[in-house]
């Protein structure tokens, strides 16, 4: 009779690190880590040796020296006596400005195009398909250059807008005219838009870092926020009444009063009015002056991204099955309520994540501002500052770090949102 | 009783439907004028289309194809169609098409470009059309080295020895794979191939070259430009970034902590910065991070960074595909006794890649469009680099529309066909219940 004996106990042998699948993954990880560290060390060592050879050091003190160059569009006060740091902030603000405006406009245009592409209207659906395919399949750089060219080459010069006395007597109209009740003038030099201004000023406070903030604007924003809060309260009360009694009280006139009343009162008190651009000897004055570099970049980013957003919106709406609409109708919901309560909440779950990644793309694409010389972050920090100080390493690393921070902030917001709308599965 | 009730004996012929329910009228009612809003949209859209056509048609109709300068174009248009007429001046394309397509590649060597492009089509064919014999794929695998040799010229032995290195890698891998596992075998193979490339290639190449000198005239990277450059960068990056992206996606899903965190770090860093900063890194920063005597071709540097860029995006797309697979697929593969790489190759990847096709192709389209950004590091892309170079000629100084339209049309054709192919592929691979 034979007894089954235990297999001989194997001790640990070195070869098991490679042959035994239990230990192989550890070996692989250690080797990968060592290779990574060695590569990193090699790169840093090279950088050290090369900097030494060029007689350069690695520090960021240049950020506090005088910049000495001008920036055409500034959101906070800046002169060429300010530091490179200040120029960096100007660039960053310009990047954020064009990105935020671009995201907002692209969302509006993209939603309209996406919905119209689903329309039963044959002509409109075809036109929107052409829109989407054209803007999506041609490089953004071309749209930026093209918009810059269109604005600079095909628009009349400011001189053509002027009405001289001789022309007035002869009853002649000028060669070019402003648009939208004289609020917008697009010349070959720039765009002038009528701006809201106050005739009575409450003065302004200067924040640390020499950033003036108009108290009028602050007051207006405060009143708006307060009215909005009041309106929310009113809505909540109406909802409570509806849940208790089943009858929703009429609130439209109260809503209108709360939302518009205080704001109009404050506006009138502060003398809010539009300042129209007027033609002077050489150029338009008054109102907002927008540079063509900004306008071209904004329009190009908007149309390009809106084509992608249109596809996202279309896919989101198509992802909701018809049964949902039919079920809502069967419950007796009106079409508008079906849209608000049934379709949109489900479609948004599909739409929002890719939408936010488009926002991210738009923000990163705004660095193409270099094509029209718009002074964004890359134009200031990665452009003139880099060339003047010759500190490629510091400038590029700092710029990457800033873009990376913006991206990570946006994507963590997206992750939070995803988590909040995730289907609760068991 | 007389016959009081009347019963019809034969059927009446069916009456024709009302006019509003048939033919063109019905179509118009349903598709263009279904309601007030719809009718308004139709009128608006129709007006817009008419406006666009009447604005563009005269300009296109008055095209001039033969002229030596923009002023001559204008003179011809005004002579033919009156003093106020405007017309397109396609003469610039006729005169400079070769620069838009090939940059400053020497004209005597154009045959190489034609051969390369024909080869590209032949190499792509077996990849795109699955009905062709699978053995043709070996041709596609060999094509990149042939193309490299044709485009840059130089001795034929360099590419052949590079190929020998790859063969060595594959041989070592196949010999060791069973005993050591996929990763270790591939690593050992890479080490062997690298040693061969670094130490053996140059002496052997010199020796072979002296015995049998087979070489094409060398072409410098500066002379590349136009769509040649866009295609070189785009195709190379597309071909390399797909496998790299798959590896990164697997690394991100991996159980190994270090591999996972390195993959995540790489992907998030690359996706977080604009491509343009990476290109500037290629042109400005690499000189700091590499030994000071390295001479590193600018096109190669740009290709590497563009590849990294699209690999990170592809990794995310494929991760989405992997996440969409039900867990049961992994478990079924385990139950069949497949190891990790077999399971990936036979079960997971075919399904995950199929799901990710639209995303992968749109990443490729984005990559191809982004090749225009190389203009900012001084390369001659078709859009900005070449257009600027052409406009530097006094004869074509102020000409904007025609080059832009020409370049836009070519980009559109490439990208549109890529997206249509991806839709075809999606339909063909669809396996769900209908």
Most B CBs within 10 Å: which of A141, A301, A393, as the mutation test of the B interface? A141
- Pick the residue from chain A with its C-alpha nearest to B400: A149
Q: Does B322 touch chain A (CB under 8 A)?
A: no
State the residue for tokens 């651009």: A277
CA distance, residue B127 to nearest chain A CA (Å)? 23
Which residue of B275, B276, B292 is in closest CB contact with A53? B292
Q: Are A125 and A119 in contact (CB under 8 A)?
A: yes
Does residue B330 lie within any of the structural domains?
Answer: yes
Residue A106 lies in a domain: yes
Pinpoint the alpha helices (H) of A55-120: 84-117
Residue B3, pLDDT above cutoff 70: no
Q: For B344-368, what is each residue's pLDDT tens digit?
A: 999 999 888 888 888 899 899 999 9
CA nearest A266: which of A177, A311, A208, A200? A200
Mutation test of the interface with chain A: which of B267, B273, B362, choosing the one with the most A Cβ atoms within 10 A? Answer: B273
| Structural domain contains residue B67 | no
Nearest chain B alpha carbon to A120: B31
Range of the domain at A154: 84-160+291-421
Task: With respect to residue A318, please indicate whether it lies within any of the assigned structural domains.
Answer: yes
Backbone angle region of B226, left / alpha / beta, with phi > 0 → left and psi within -120 to 50 → alpha: left
- From B30, B187, B289, residue closest to A43, measured CB to CB: B289
Number of compact structural domains in chain B:
1
B56, B253, B267, B288: which to substitute to probe chain A, counting the most A Cβ within 10 Å? B288
Instruction: List pLDDT tens digits, range B41-54.
Output: 889 988 999 998 98
Of chain A, the percentage scoring pLDDT greater than 90 comes to 25
Cβ distance of A120 and B30 shorter than 8 Å:
yes
SS3 string, B154-213, reads EECHHHHHHHHHHHHHHHHHHHHHHHHCHHHHHHHHHHHHHHHHHHHHHHHHHHHHHHCC
Q: Domain for residue A336, yes or no? A: yes
CA gyration radius, chain A: 30
Nearest to A24 among B181, B369, B408 (CB): B181
Give the whole-angstrom CA distance, residue B77 versus residue B61.
10
Q: Would you say residue A19 lies in a domain? A: no
Distances in Å between the alpha carbon of A130 and those of A134, A184, A381, B369, B416?
6, 29, 39, 18, 12
pLDDT band at A142 (very low <50, low <70, confident <90, very high): very high
How many separate domains does chain A show?
1
| pLDDT, mean of residues A298-317 | 92
pLDDT at residue A124, as a whole number: 87
**B128-187 pLDDT tens trace:** 877 878 888 888 888 888 898 888 888 888 888 888 999 999 999 999 888 877 888 888
- Across the A:B interface, residue pairs with CB atoms under 8 Å apart total 156
CB contact under 8 A, A139 and B416: no
Cβ pair A276, A194 in contact under 8 A: yes
Say how many Å lie between the first and final Cα of chain B, rounded. Answer: 64
Residue A411 half-sphere exposure toward CB, CA atoms < 13 A = 14
Give domain status of residue B285, yes or no. yes
Residue with tokens 């913006």: A406
pTM of the model: 0.87
- Residue B411 CA to residue A239 CA, distance in Å, equals 55
A184 within domain boundaries:
no
B219-240 per-position pLDDT tens digit: 888 888 889 999 999 999 999 9
- Looking at residue A341, what is its pLDDT? 87
Kindly provide the ipTM of the predicted complex, given to two decimals.
0.87
CA separation for the pair B193, B215 (Å, rounded): 24
Residue B171 tokens read as: 């041989």
Q: Residue B434 — pLDDT band, cuts 50, 70, 90?
A: very low
The CA distance from A2 to A6, in Å, is: 13
Report the residue of chain B nearest A364, measured CA to CA.
B274
Q: How far is B203 from chain A (nearest CA, A)?
A: 27
Output the domain CATH number for residue B379. Answer: 1.10.3720.10
- Decide if A410 is inside a domain: yes
What is the DSSP secondary structure assignment for residue B11, as one 8-state letter?
A: P
C-alpha torsion B320→B324→B329→B331, nearest 10: 80
CA distance B369 to chain A (A): 5
Percent of chain B with pLDDT over 90: 25
In a domain, A223, yes or no: no
Which CATH number fits the domain that encloses residue A112? 1.10.3720.10
**Cα–Cα distances in Å, from B143 out to A391, B150, B235, B307?**
42, 10, 12, 19
Nearest CB to A121; choose among B41, B280, B285: B41
Q: Is residue B397 part of a domain?
A: yes
Question: Between B1 and A348, where is the model more confident?
Answer: A348
């Amino acid at each position: 009779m034979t007894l089954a004996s235990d297999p001989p106990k194997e001790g640990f042998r070195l070869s098991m690190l490679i042959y035994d699948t239990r230990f192989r993954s550890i070996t692989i990880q250690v080797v990968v880590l060592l290779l990574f560290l060695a590569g990193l060390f090699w790169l840093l060592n090279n950088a050290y040796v090369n900097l030494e050879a060029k007689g350069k050091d690695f520090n960021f003190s240049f950020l506090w020296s005088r910049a000495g160059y001008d920036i055409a569009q500034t959101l906070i006060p800046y002169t060429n006596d300010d530091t490179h740091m200040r120029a960096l902030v100007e660039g960053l603000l310009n990047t954020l400005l064009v990105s935020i405006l671009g995201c907002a406009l692209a969302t509006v245009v993209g939603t309209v195009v996406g919905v119209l592409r689903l329309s039963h209207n044959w002509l409109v659906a075809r036109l929107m398909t052409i829109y989407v395919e054209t803007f999506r399949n041609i490089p953004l750089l071309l749209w930026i250059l093209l918009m810059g060219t269109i604005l600079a080459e095909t628009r009349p010069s400011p001189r053509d807008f002027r009405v001289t006395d001789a022309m007035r007597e002869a009853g002649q109209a000028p060669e070019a005219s402003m648009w939208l009740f004289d609020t917008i003038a697009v010349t070959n030099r720039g765009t002038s838009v009528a701006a809201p201004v106050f005739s009575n000023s409450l003065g302004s406070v200067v924040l640390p870092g020499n950033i003036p903030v108009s108290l009028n604007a602050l007051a207006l924003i405060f009143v708006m926020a307060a009215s909005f809060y009041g309106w929310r309260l009113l809505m909540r009360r109406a909802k409570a009444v509806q849940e208790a009694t089943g009858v929703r009280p009429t609130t439209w006139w109260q809503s209108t009063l709360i939302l518009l009343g205080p704001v109009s009162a404050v506006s009138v008190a502060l003398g809010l009015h539009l300042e129209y651009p007027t033609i002077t000897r050489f150029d338009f004055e008054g109102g907002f002056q927008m540079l063509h570099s900004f306008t071209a970049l904004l329009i190009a980013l908007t149309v390009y991204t809106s084509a992608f957003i249109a596809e996202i919106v279309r896919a989101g709406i198509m992802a909701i099955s018809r049964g949902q609409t039919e079920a809502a109708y069967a419950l007796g919901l009106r079409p508008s309520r079906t849209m608000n309560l049934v379709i949109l909440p489900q479609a948004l779950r599909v739409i929002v994540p890719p939408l936010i990644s488009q926002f991210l793309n738009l923000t990163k694409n705004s660095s193409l501002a270099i094509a029209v010389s718009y002074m964004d972050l890359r134009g200031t920090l990665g452009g003139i500052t880099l060339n003047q100080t010759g500190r490629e390493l510091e400038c590029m690393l700092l710029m990457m770090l800033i873009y990376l921070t913006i991206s990570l902030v946006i994507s963590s917001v997206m992750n939070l949102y995803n988590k909040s709308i995730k289907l609760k599965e068991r | 009783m007389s016959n009081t009730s009347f019963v019809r004996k034969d059927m009446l012929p069916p009456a024709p439907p009302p006019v509003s329910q048939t033919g063109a009228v019905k179509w118009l009612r349903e598709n263009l004028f279904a309601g007030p809003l719809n009718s308004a949209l139709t009128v608006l859209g129709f007006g817009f289309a008419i406006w666009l056509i009447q604005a563009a048609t005269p300009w296109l109709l008055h095209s001039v194809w033969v002229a030596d300068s923009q002023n001559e174009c204008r003179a011809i248009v005004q002579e033919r169609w009156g003093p106020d007429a405007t017309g397109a001046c396609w003469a610039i394309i006729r005169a400079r098409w070769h620069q838009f397509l090939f940059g400053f590649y020497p004209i005597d060597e154009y045959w190489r470009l034609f051969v390369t492009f024909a080869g590209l089509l032949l190499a792509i064919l077996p990849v795109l059309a699955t009905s062709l014999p699978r053995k043709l794929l070996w041709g596609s695998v060999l094509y990149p080295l042939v193309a490299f040799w044709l485009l840059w010229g130089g001795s034929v032995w360099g590419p052949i020895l590079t190929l020998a290195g790859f063969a060595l890698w594959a041989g070592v891998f196949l010999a060791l794979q069973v005993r050591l596992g996929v990763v270790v075998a591939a690593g050992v193979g890479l080490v062997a191939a690298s040693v061969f490339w670094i130490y053996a290639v140059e002496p052997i190449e010199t020796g072979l070259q002296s015995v049998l000198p087979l070489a094409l005239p060398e072409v410098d990277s500066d002379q590349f430009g136009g769509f040649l450059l866009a295609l070189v960068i785009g195709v190379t990056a597309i071909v390399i970034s797909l496998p790299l992206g798959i590896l990164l996606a697997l690394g991100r899903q991996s159980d190994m902590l270090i591999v996972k965190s390195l993959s995540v770090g790489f992907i998030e860093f690359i996706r977080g910065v604009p491509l343009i900063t990476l290109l500037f890194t290629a042109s400005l920063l690499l000189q700091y991070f590499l030994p000071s005597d390295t001479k590193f071709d600018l096109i190669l540097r740009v290709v590497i960074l563009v590849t990294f860029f699209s690999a990170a995006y592809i990794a995310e797309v494929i991760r989405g595909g992997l996440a969409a697979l039900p867990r049961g697929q992994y478990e079924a593969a385990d139950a069949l006794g497949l190891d990790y790489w077999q399971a990936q190759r036979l079960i997971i990847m075919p399904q995950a890649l199929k799901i990710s096709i639209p995303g992968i192709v749109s990443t490729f389209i984005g990559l191809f469009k982004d090749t225009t950004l190389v203009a900012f590091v001084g390369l001659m892309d078709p859009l900005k680099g070449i257009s600027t170079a052409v406009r530097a000629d006094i004869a074509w100084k102020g000409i904007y529309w025609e080059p832009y339209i020409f370049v836009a049309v070519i980009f559109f054709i490439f990208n549109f066909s890529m997206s249509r192919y991806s839709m075809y592929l999606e339909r063909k691979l669809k396996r769900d219940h209908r």
